Structure 1
Amino acid sequence: MTVAVLVPHDVPTVLNYYVPDPESDEPPHIYIIDAPAGKKRDNIGREPHDVVIHDARGKEKEYDLSLDTSGFQFVKHVSQEKEFDDDERVKNVYYKEVEELLKKETGAKRVFVFDHTLRRTEPDFVSPEGKVIRGPAEAVHVDQTYEASVARVHRHLGDEAERLLKGRVRIINVWRPIHNPVAHRPLTVSDWRTVDKEHDLVPVRFIFPDQRLAGVYSVRYNANHKWYYLSDQTPDEVTLIKCYDSEVDRARFTPHTAFLDKTSPKDAPYRESIELRCLVFDTE
């Protein structure tokens, strides 16, 4: 057995990968609202596997990490928004910042932010204002299947979709810590070049009441996967996570998940983060 050699901030941990649900013979799915009577919300099994998360800080060039090579990129970006506690301000101020950031980093001509999610380390809970705050996603996944990505363009851009789909289309998740450097449950991303595209991806259908086409890829374990994170990632550092690319000769996505870092100080603040998912077009 080969023992991984750790550098100072590399972290041994456990990640949850996909396994079939032995109680279900249906294709993998998740009911987004309410499951029918007598059915479970999903039929996705999880299997923990030991991995090492490599610290990319200061080694981005050495590891050749970028959106088009590995499927993700770490970028310094200072936002005017600090609290992210007002949805209207997030949409009116932060969305515009992210649009400009993605144009600068990718050369895109047009960016459409289609949603954002706030997360905390604790499990999902309801705030005093009645808003559900989601916890970190703790299973390896890709945010969109290829088919669901194309459907996103049709859903949000309507009559412009066919024209835009003739050019390059990407979906990029822009992930940022809030308030403090990340200690508990950091984000880790896997290098596209280490993913077996034929074996590792498991399409999972999202079932909505309106039957829209939506879904993610769950991911099977593969010992070749190489995982990275940015140690002590601050609110002025964002992770760009590629979820889809219509171009086939470069990285098209990156699996990702939160992970447990047992080396984090126990008294460090809980993780808070915001992610924006964006359609990125090379044409106007």
Structure 2
Amino acid sequence: MNDPTLPTSATLSHLVDDPIYEEEEPYEIWADDLPVNVARTNVKLEIIPYCPLTDVRSIDEKPQLEKFGFEWMHQDFPHHAGLHSSDCVDLKPREQQNVLDAYVASMSDFPQEQLKCFQVVCWDWRVRKSLLTKPQKFPTIYSLKDGSPDFMEKVVSAIASPQELLEAKSGKYRIRVLTLWRPLVDVVKTNPLVCCDTRTVKDTDLDVVQKVMDDTVEEGMYLKWNKDHRWYWQSDQTRDDVLVMTVWDSRRPTTKHVAVPHVTMVLPVPLSGAQPRESIELRYVVWNGTGQHLS
């Protein structure tokens, strides 16, 4: 049953569909030393209201990873790992590493059990904390995807063996990059994460963005608005609710819209005194055999 107090649309930031991006790629410079005459970014955003939004708790047919590109799955939070809040990133390096290693170890069984993966490698992690609990007038984060197909293929090539890559191309294996995201608070009451159904996204809706760091260049993708996009969220997401999102798939290695656009949503009526959202995400390369019929 729908809760009339929950939003059925969202106001989300998108990349402007600017003709300039036909001549120059969108970019962001995150490097510290930058000449004063060089602009840090040419990214232009627009705020789109009334983006169609569905709370997955209100529908019987929930989004599934193979169809939508994402899925909320249940796993009891591994309290034994010692990861209780985002404060873990402020621990001394050895203590921090011990906590993160324990959490990653406890999570590595998850894709094997839930998705029947026979091999998993965690290659990146992020811990985040929102500092805002007061109502915000506009969204502060644009609709993004974690990596372009070319960039993610480089990541996979650095992790998988040459033989595994050949066997994935031949169809013997299926290799994917997945993000596993969950809150580090009991219940998310501020800035929930929303995801776009990848079936409603076209490759032309996405532009690759160059992210220039001090010692490397990464590629992400930003989403331009399309009236066909459909967004989903899970109200009152808890520590036990793991959001799994596809980033890259060897079955469609060059297709941009395989990856799930996702963004933080500003709730229209935030709860007074709600705890700031804290979260952790792990990024995995996972292997399945093609004999496993997953789609």
TM over 0.5: yes
The match for 1:65 is 63
- Cα deviations across residues 152-204 of structure 1 (Å, max 9, x unaligned)? 0233456676457543221111111112211111000010111122x201111
Q: 1:145 aligns with which of 133, 143, 148?
A: 148
Q: 1:218 aligns with which of 193, 215, 222?
A: 222
DSSP 3-state at the match of 1:68? helix
The match for 1:188 is 194
Q: 1:171 aligns with which of 177, 180, 183?
A: 177
- Equivalenced residue count is 263
Q: Distance in 2 between matches of 1:164 and 1:206?
A: 31
AA of the residue aligned to 2:25: P
1:105-254 to structure 2, matched below 5 A, reads: 105-122=114-131, 138-157=141-160, 162-163=165-166, 165-166=168-169, 167-197=173-203, 199-212=204-217, 214-248=218-252, 252-254=258-260
The CA deviation at 1:209 is 4.2
- Cα deviations across residues 13-40 of structure 1 (Å, max 9, x unaligned)? 3100001679885311222323631222
After superposing the two structures, state which structure 1 stretch, 11-20 or 170-179, moved more.
11-20
Query: 1:56·1:229 contact (CA, 8 Å) conserved in 2?
Result: yes
Q: 2:12 aligns with which of 15, 25, 47?
A: 15
More helix by share: 2
Q: Name the CA shift for 1:211/1:273 in 2 (closer, same or farther; >3 Å).
A: closer
Q: Distance in 1 between matches of 2:215 and 2:157?
A: 15
The match for 2:272 is 266
The CA deviation at 1:58 is 5.3
Q: Distance in 2 between matches of 1:161 and 1:35?
A: 40
The CA deviation at 1:7 is 5.5
The match for 1:40 is 39
DSSP 3-state at the match of 2:142? coil
The match for 2:52 is 52
Q: CA RMSD in A?
A: 2.8
DSSP 3-state at the match of 2:65? coil
The CA deviation at 1:259 is 0.7
- Cα deviations across residues 73-94 of structure 1 (Å, max 9, x unaligned)? 0011112234141532343211
Query: 2:17·2:224 contact (CA, 8 Å) conserved in 1?
Result: no
The percent of aligned pairs where both chains have the same amino acid is 24
The CA deviation at 1:267 is 1.5
Q: Distance in 2 between matches of 1:99 and 1:242?
A: 16
The CA deviation at 1:242 is 1.0
The match for 1:280 is 286
After superposing the two structures, state which structure 1 stretch, 103-112 or 180-189, moved more.
103-112
Query: 2:13·2:140 contact (CA, 8 Å) conserved in 1?
Result: no
DSSP 3-state at the match of 2:46? strand
- Cα deviations across residues 218-247 of structure 1 (Å, max 9, x unaligned)? 110011110000000011111101111121
Q: Distance in 1 between matches of 2:77 and 2:224?
A: 36
For structure 2, list consecutive stretches of 5 or more residues without a partner in the other structure: 133-138, 290-295
DSSP 3-state at the match of 1:239? strand
TM-score by length of 1: 0.82
Q: Name the CA shift for 1:90/1:221 in 2 (closer, same or farther; >3 Å).
A: farther
Q: Distance in 2 between matches of 1:150 and 1:66?
A: 24
Q: Name the CA shift for 1:141/1:186 in 2 (closer, same or farther; >3 Å).
A: same
After superposing the two structures, state which structure 1 stretch, 99-108 or 247-256, moved more.
247-256
Q: Name the CA shift for 1:248/1:26 in 2 (closer, same or farther; >3 Å).
A: closer
Query: 1:154·1:161 contact (CA, 8 Å) conserved in 2?
Result: no
Query: 1:54·1:227 contact (CA, 8 Å) conserved in 2?
Result: yes
Query: 2:69·2:260 contact (CA, 8 Å) conserved in 1?
Result: yes
- Residue 83 (str. 1) matches residue 84 (str. 2): yes
AA of the residue aligned to 1:113: C
